Amino acid sequence: MIFQAPILALLLISALAALVSLWSAGFGVQVLRRWDVASGARTQLRLERATELVSTLFGFVMLAEIAALLLFVYNADRMAELFVGAMCAVGTLNVNPWGFPALYLKIAVFFSAALWLILDRADRLGRDYPLAKVKYAALLPIAGLLLAAGGVEIAYFLGLETDVITSCCSKLFTPVNEGLASEMTGLAPGRALWMLAGTGATVAVTGGLSLATGKGQGWFALAGGVMFAVSLAAIVSVISLYVYDHPNHHCPFCLLQPEHGYYGYVLYLPLFAGTAFALGAGVTRLFHGVGSLSDTLPAMTRRLVVSGMVAFGLFGIAVVWAIAASQLILFG
């Protein structure tokens, strides 16, 4: 089944990412061992020169991986019609045991890519490569993650057999099963909404405080991370019901389909972006004291906090709109 245009594009990106990350990791090891900005030695000059290429190339691959997550999900949804029993992306991902791990790894790659890009950007604010070692230390595990994600993705695509009968989302997202999906489904709608509102308020308060005082971005990042988890649970437990106008359909993937106006993208894009910005603010906060960054980095952290709050705000508007525009009455 790998002779499908989107699959070929995804494999191309993964192959490129694997190649670049291996090479960058090799370079990263050299940086970690020999980097010394004070030295004028030949090796140091060579490293400084090459780091421009490596970080540009790796940053470019990270951007491509972010696009690949979107394409992966979109493609999984689109291919559902090829499999017996599949009605949305869940069925496609369930065709073999590699499907969901591939998705989770892709999501992990997305967040680490976003954080690395933010780190890279922070590093470029200072003229003396202030974060070079941090950046390359972070690159090593990301390279491993990229390789793992690429391997699992290939295993998944090679194992796509159309004569396998897969299961539909209504089977996975029911409260009677065991596992995380059904825990999320079984969460009472009222409780899920209260939790969502509570974490949303916490995000707003911590964000506002960090903007006012210039401190506490770590709390904002933490609140953003919790917000991500709670939002996913709330989408499965209650928001999807409002989008489908149906009291029992909980699938978070059918939201991506044209029948529901691609509403899933309206929900997920700001949610993922907001989480990435919030976590990024938490990361850049750690380096406010670094010499050449002490003037410029706080402004960037501030921008990240604002972007995160705007993205979460958009997500909140999307949630409220889904509930307000729905014909479904769950309470009262």
Partner 1 sequence: MVLAEAPELTVQHLRMGRHEMTDGAQIAGIAAIRGVTAVEGRLWGYFYDAASGANYTFQVPDDPALLPGPGEVLVGEGVQRARGATWEGAPLFLSRYTGDMVKFEVVRTFSSDSALVSSDLVLLNEADFRAFFKLPEGVWTDLAVSIRNPLEIPTIMEKASKLMPDARFITRDEIGRTYQKLFSWREGLMIALAAAAVLAFTIFAAEKASGLSAEEAREIGVLKAIGWDTRDVISMKLWEGALISLGAFLIGTLAAYLHVFAFGAGLFAPILKGWSVIYPDFPLAPVIDGMQLSTLFLLTVVPYTAATLVPIWRAASADPDQVMR
At residue 177, φ and ψ (nearest 5 deg) are -75, 175
Using CB under 8 A as the binding rule, whether residue 22 contacts partner 1 is answered as no
| Interacting positions 95-124 with partner 1 (CB under 8 A) | 124
Q: Is 74 in the site for partner 1 (CB under 8 A)?
A: yes
CB of 308 to partner 1, least distance (A): 25
Q: Which is nearer to partner 1, 117 or 195 (CB)?
A: 117
The DSSP letter of residue 84 is: T
Contacts of 194-202 with C-beta under 8 Å, sequence gap 24+, read: 195/230, 195/233, 195/234, 196/230, 196/231, 196/234, 196/319, 199/223, 199/226, 199/227, 199/230, 199/231, 200/227, 200/312, 200/316, 202/226, 202/227
For 75, the token pair is 């493609």
Shortest distance in whole angstroms from residue 193 CB to partner 1? 32
Q: In whole angstroms, what is the distance from residue 245 CA to residue 206 CA?
A: 34
Least distance (Å) between residue 55 CB and partner 1: 9
Cβ 113 to partner 1, closest distance in Å? 15
Q: Does 201 bind partner 1 (CB under 8 A)?
A: no
- Does residue 57 touch partner 1 according to CB under 8 A? yes
Binding to partner 1 by residue 53, rule CB under 8 A? yes
DSSP state of 126: S
Q: In the 8-state DSSP scheme, what is residue 237?
A: I
State which of residues 22, 67, 201, 229 lies at the interface with partner 1 (CB under 8 A): 67
The answer to whether 2 contacts partner 1 (rule: CB under 8 A) is yes
Q: Applying CB under 8 A, does 324 fall inside the site for partner 1?
A: no
Q: Which is nearer to partner 1, 3 or 331 (CB)?
A: 3
- Is residue 211 a contact residue for partner 1 (CB under 8 A)? no
Q: How far is the CB of 97 from partner 1 (least distance, A)?
A: 22
Beta carbon of residue 123, minimum distance to partner 1 (angstroms, whole number): 11
Residue 176 as a binder of partner 1 (CB under 8 A): the answer is no
Total residue count of the chain as it appears in this document: 332
H/E element, 3: none
Q: Does 78 bind partner 1 (CB under 8 A)?
A: yes
Question: Contact 251/170 with Cβ under 8 angstroms?
Answer: yes
Interatomic CA distance for residues 46 and 56, integer angstroms: 16
Which amino acid, 315?
Answer: F
Does 13 contact partner 1 by CB under 8 A?
Answer: yes
The yes or no reply on residue 71 touching partner 1 (CB under 8 A) is yes
Residue 47 near residue 35 (C-beta atoms within 8 A)? yes
Please, what's the b/e burial string for 292-319 (b: 16 or more CB within 10 A of its CB; e: otherwise)?
ebeeebbebbbebbebbbebbbbbbebb
Region from 3-11, 34-42, 183-191, 277-285 binding partner 1, contact rule CB under 8 A:
3-11
- Across 4-110, the runs of DSSP E, i.e. the strands, are none
List residues binding partner 1 (CB under 8 A).
2-9, 12-13, 16, 20, 49, 52-53, 56-57, 60, 64, 67-68, 70-71, 74-75, 78, 81-82, 84, 124, 127, 162
